[in-house]
Amino acid sequence: MLPPNLHHIELFYYVAKYGGITPAVRKMPYGIQQPAVSGQMLQLERELGVKLFNRRPFALTPAGNELYNFLAPFFSKLPLIAEQLRGEESSHLRLAAERTVLANHLPTLLDQIKKDCPNLRLTMTELGASSTAETLLANQDIDIAITSLHSPRPSSVKTLELLSIPLILIVPDKSKINSFSTISKVSDGKILEPMISLSSEHSINTIFQKELDKRELVWNPIVEVTSLDLISNYVSRGYGIGLTLDAPGMSIPKGLRKINLRGFPPLKIGMLFQGKLKPIAEKFALAAVAYAKKIKKIV
């Protein structure tokens, strides 16, 4: 046997609570006509095979009393739990970003948000090969992603650019290389120096390799790592030239120096989100824009 219609069950709760169909129609939290309620109560009684209440004067039958006593604890607490959930969700901010952003920028930015929202609840996801911003947004696992803006996006995803960060090379202080043009090449345009970079699918590499193709040059990394910090580490140890970013908040370690990549497109970083942001996410977005403007001035 199929369970009774849940909407009919809800209507019965209000009828029983307010002592009849007419007062229930007046006090229900949504609009519905009296004939519709009457018809659905009859349908519910047919589904259950019992009479639930007498119409005139109104009185619950024993079966009606039993059903109402079962329903009342649930329906009476619904407004309270809904308000509680709304309160929790209103202070829950779900962000995704790459490790460098999570470590170097979000703490300062979130400190500002927490001052205005002491009950701030955070869920932060590190973006990587297995967790793309688009997938997390589509699954509604996050409110905002901070990531590069170079990949194609679905039309449902909105973007807001925050920073444009130059690509640079880093070499040991003692290196004889002073500019990109002084890096040794062979006749077919292949660059001989070993390169250290992030993994090949990263936006930094994609931008760099596209520009090399335009210049008819070939230079593939021999060491691929998972973070910009590791690039500096391996350059310091003499494994090769590092491809990295001249990013705000990141300093070049002692013993290394940067080589500017003039004419190479920068890495664009921004926010991705879908639909209308809830208030706490909108507050974060506005703070992120202000923070990006501030660190641009520092740079």
> Which pLDDT score is estimated for 111?
93
Q: Select the more confidently predicted residue: 88 or 5.
A: 5
pLDDT of residue 145: 96
Cα-Cα-Cα-Cα dihedral of 42, 44, 50, 55, to 10°?
A: -40
The C-alpha atoms of residue 292 and residue 282 are separated, in whole angstroms, by 15
Mean pLDDT (the chain) is: 90
Percent of the chain with pLDDT over 70: 96
Say whether pLDDT at 49 is over 70: yes
Alpha helices in the chain (DSSP H): 6-18, 21-27, 34-48, 62-90, 99-104, 106-116, 133-138, 203-214, 228-236, 279-298
**256 DSSP assignment:** E
Complete domains list, the chain, with CATH: 6-89 (1.10.10.10), 91-164+268-298 (3.40.190.10), 167-265 (3.40.190.10)
Judging by DSSP bridges, how do beta strands 121-126 and 92-97 pair with one another? parallel
Beta-carbon contacts of 109 under 8 Å, excluding residues fewer than 6 positions away, are 284, 287, 288, 291
pLDDT (0 to 100) of residue 244: 96
Q: What is the pLDDT of residue 186?
A: 78
Instruction: Show the tokens assigned to 285.
Output: 């977005």
Band the pLDDT of 129: cuts 50, 70, 90: low
Q: Would you state the pLDDT for residue 247?
A: 85
φ, ψ dihedrals at 23, nearest 5°: -65, -30
pLDDT score recorded for residue 227: 85
How confident is the model over 111-126, as a mean pLDDT? 90
> What are 57-112's pLDDT values in tens digits?
999 999 999 999 999 989 888 877 776 767 667 888 999 998 888 888 899 899 98
User: What is the distance between the terminal CA atoms of the chain, rounded to a whole angstrom?
Assistant: 70
219 CB-contact burial (10 Å; exposed 0-12 / middle 13-18 / buried 19+): buried
Average pLDDT over residues 168-190: 90
**pLDDT at residue 130 greater than cutoff 60:** no
Q: Name the strands in the sheet holding 223-225, side by side, starting at the edge strand that comes first in the sequence.
A: 223-225, 195-198, 241-245, 167-172, 256-260
Q: What confidence tens digit (pLDDT) does each residue in 244-291 have?
A: 999 887 889 999 999 999 999 999 999 999 989 989 999 999 999 999
The pLDDT value recorded for residue 249 is 72
Q: Which residues contact 165 (CB under 8 A, 6 or more apart)?
A: 245, 246, 247, 248, 266, 267, 268, 269
- Average pLDDT, stretch 151-177? 92
The pTM for the full model equals: 0.67
Residue 156: what residue type?
S
